[in-house]
């Protein structure tokens, strides 16, 4: 069932905004004092790179099975490579090797992750092929780095190498959930787009563990969505940090009761079914979400007095992540309002995601057909190391981070009892909805 939209008067000039909400109101649009009245164009948004660690780009994840000495499918792929900041899966304990493989070679400039607390270390290798751990084909670029130093962050130095595969070596005694991986390169998010596949594919061709319902964030920059207003300092460009698929960049939302704190316009009308948010763990309050069937002009806030939210997401100070599954609601825009508990603290928004009825079976993310790529300069990569990353088994001269032990981490895998493959503490989501929330992990195999 789809929610009926109601007409809301918003100005003396009789302009209108439609709320996809079951209650009438007298909402009004107000111009901010320092308004940004233009939506950023594709060229202006080239500063936001596309995260390549996503299944909608054909990227996949495997774990190395020490018994069979091969890479095998892992449930972590569904959580770490989807677009939902709330779905997570635990790392296996001890020393483990995860293979992240792109559909084709990519320039890799940086790496990061978003996790619960993982007090262990990580080493990172780049390569042209899925070689076994310890193979001379791998090029070590970071060794024994604290995972906490990469949590919602990335390396301080740039990698700037071409690779088809990343080998992620983890060493964690008591692991917790990782929610997402982030690999950035020379592709801009605004130059990509969601497009129908020429021919539908079997989801098994994309991997054994896939989150169909959370593979595409329709609030993302690559989905042609834009933040058109925020009640925080900055510009219409910096506001896009809320939807850039990078947890290190944030947008603060000031508390409000009668007006919008943030307005997002979807790239096109979407039937929204799920919303997920990553903030700060210390946040206490309610994030009200309003789904609109008509969008206000850029730079305009929305009066919310008397309006019932489409959904209210609670933050109780114990988790930075929360989500809600909702009745399918056709929407062209979304409004956020932050109401803190007992104080005036702003809400630090790390990531905002909205999900619709777009499936990996018949959609993919490719270069936008009408994108004006400002980085099409043929000399733009002349300083990149594009000769490949095949090594001689020695430490690269370009190691950009190292932990205190100083070891290369290429010692042979220790013998002993085989460890479970793709097992462990299991999926984690701090909303209590299970993993994936109301979603079949592998729909076509059930």
- Fold classified for 49-204+384-445: Jelly Rolls (2.60.120)
Distance CA 321, CA 276 (A): 8
Of 187, 196, 188, 183, whose CA–CA distance to 364 is shortest?
196
Average pLDDT of the chain is 81
Structure tokens that stand for 118 in this block: 């993982």
pLDDT digits (tens, 9 = 90+) for 162-171: 999 999 999 9
Task: Give pLDDT tens digits for 280-313.
Answer: 999 999 999 999 999 999 999 999 999 999 999 9
Measured distance CA(79)–CA(178) in Å, rounded: 8
* Least confident piece of the model among 178-187, 195-204, 320-329, 353-362: 195-204
* Structure confidence at residue 371 (pLDDT): 52
Band the pLDDT of 206: cuts 50, 70, 90. confident
258 Cβ partners below 8 Å, 6+ apart? 303, 304, 305
Alpha-carbon distance values, 446 to 90, 192, 209, 356, 440 (Å): 23, 32, 12, 21, 8
DSSP output for 200-262: ---GGGT-SS--GGGS--TTSGGGT-EEEEESSSS-TTGGGGGGSS-TTS-EEE---SSB-SE
Q: Is the peptide bond before 332 cis (omega within 30 degrees of 0)?
A: no
* Cβ 272 vs Cβ 355: under 8 Å: yes
Rounded Cα distance, 252 and 438, in Å = 30
Residue 255's alpha-carbon distances to 230, 283, 338, 349, 402, in angstroms, are 11, 12, 5, 12, 41
Instruction: Reply yes or no on whether the pLDDT at 368 is more than 90.
Output: no
Instruction: Give residue 54's pLDDT.
Output: 97
Tokens of 55: 């299944």
Can you tell me the distance from the alpha carbon of 300 to that of 36, in angstroms, rounded to the nearest whole number?
Answer: 8
Nearest Cα to Cα of residue 117 among 319, 252, 277, 314: 319
Burial (CB count within 10 angstroms: exposed 0-12, middle 13-18, buried 19+), residue 412: exposed
Under CATH, which architecture does the 6-30+217-357 domain have? Sandwich (2.60)
Whether the CB-CB separation of 385 and 398 falls below 8 Å is answered with: yes
What pLDDT band is residue 343 in, cutting at 50, 70 and 90? confident
Q: Is the pLDDT of residue 375 over 50?
A: no
Q: Which residues pair with 146 in a beta bridge?
A: 121
Better-scored residue on pLDDT, 202 or 420: 202
pLDDT of residue 155: 93
Instruction: Say if residue 386's pLDDT is above 60.
Output: no
Distance (Å, whole) CA 181 – CA 253? 25
Using CA atoms, how far residue 405 sits from 21, 144, 148, in Å, is: 57, 7, 16
pLDDT for 401: 62
* Joined tokens for residue 21: 């909400």
- C-alpha to C-alpha distance for 152 and 182, rounded to whole angstroms: 9
Strands 121-127 and 94-115: unpaired
Q: What is the mean pLDDT of residues 93-115?
A: 97
Q: What band does 221 get if pLDDT is binned at 50, 70 and 90?
A: very high
Q: What is the pTM of this model?
A: 0.80
| pLDDT given for residue 203 in this prediction | 83
CA distance 409 to 122: 10
**370 or 73, higher pLDDT:** 73
Helix (H) or strand (E) holding 194: strand 192-196
The CA-based angle 184-323-288, given to 5 degrees, is 110
List, by residue range, all CATH 2.60.120.260 domains of the chain.
Answer: 6-30+217-357, 49-204+384-445
Distance in angstroms (rounded) separating the CA atoms of residues 146 and 402:
9
C-alpha to C-alpha distances, 352 to 36, 286, 289, 440, nearest whole angstrom = 21, 15, 11, 22
Residue 83 CA to residue 56 CA, distance in Å, equals 9
Q: Which two tokens stand for residue 77?
A: 């792929």
Q: pLDDT at position 33, please?
A: 37
Of residues 277 and 14, more confidently modeled: 277
């Amino acid at each position: 069932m789809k929610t009926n939209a109601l007409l809301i008067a918003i100005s003396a000039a009789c302009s209108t905004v439609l709320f996809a909400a079951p209650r009438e109101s007298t909402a009004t649009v107000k111009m901010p004092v320092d308004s940004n009245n233009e939506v950023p164009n594709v060229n202006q948004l080239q500063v936001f790179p596309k995260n390549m660690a996503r299944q909608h780009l054909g990227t996949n994840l495997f774990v190395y099975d020490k018994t069979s000495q091969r890479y095998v499918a892992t449930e972590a792929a569904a959580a770490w490579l989807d677009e939902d900041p709330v779905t997570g899966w635990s790392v296996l304990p001890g020393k483990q090797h995860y293979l992240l493989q792109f559909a084709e070679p990519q320039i890799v400039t940086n790496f990061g992750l978003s996790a619960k607390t993982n007090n262990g270390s990580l080493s990172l290798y780049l390569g042209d092929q899925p070689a076994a751990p310890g193979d001379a084909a791998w090029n070590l670029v970071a060794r024994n780095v604290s995972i906490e130093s990469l949590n919602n962050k990335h390396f301080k130095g740039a990698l700037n190498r071409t690779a088809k595969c990343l080998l992620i070596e983890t060493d964690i005694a008591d692991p917790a959930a990782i929610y997402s991986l982030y690999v950035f390169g020379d592709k801009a998010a605004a130059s990509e787009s969601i497009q129908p596949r020429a021919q539908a594919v079997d989801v098994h061709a994309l991997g054994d563990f896939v989150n169909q319902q959370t593979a595409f964030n329709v609030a993302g920059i690559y989905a042609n969505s834009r933040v058109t207003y925020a009640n925080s300092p900055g510009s219409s460009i910096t506001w896009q940090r809320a939807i850039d698929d990078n947890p290190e960049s944030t947008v603060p939302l000031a508390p409000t009761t009668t007006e919008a704190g943030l307005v997002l316009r979807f790239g096109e009308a979407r039937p929204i079914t799920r919303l997920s948010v990553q903030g700060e763990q210390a946040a206490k309050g309610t994030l009200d979400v309003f789904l609109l069937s008509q969008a206000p002009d850029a730079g305009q806030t929305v009066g919310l007095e008397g309006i019932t939210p489409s959904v209210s997401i609670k933050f109780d100070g114990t988790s930075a992540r929360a989500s809600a599954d909702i009745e399918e609601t056709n929407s062209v825009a979304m409004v956020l309002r932050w109401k803190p508990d007992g104080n005036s603290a702003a809400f630090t928004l790390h990531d905002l995601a909205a999900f619709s009825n777009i499936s990996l079976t018949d959609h993919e993310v490719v270069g936008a057909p009408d994108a004006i790529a400002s980085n099409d300069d043929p000399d733009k990569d002349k300083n990149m190391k594009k000769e490949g990353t095949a090594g001689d088994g020695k430490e690269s001269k370009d190691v950009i981070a190292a932990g205190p032990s100083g070891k290369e981490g290429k010692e042979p895998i220790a013998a002993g009892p085989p460890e479970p493959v793709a097992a462990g503490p299991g999926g984690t989501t701090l909303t209590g909805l299970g993993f994936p929330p109301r979603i079949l992990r592998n729909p076509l195999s059930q």
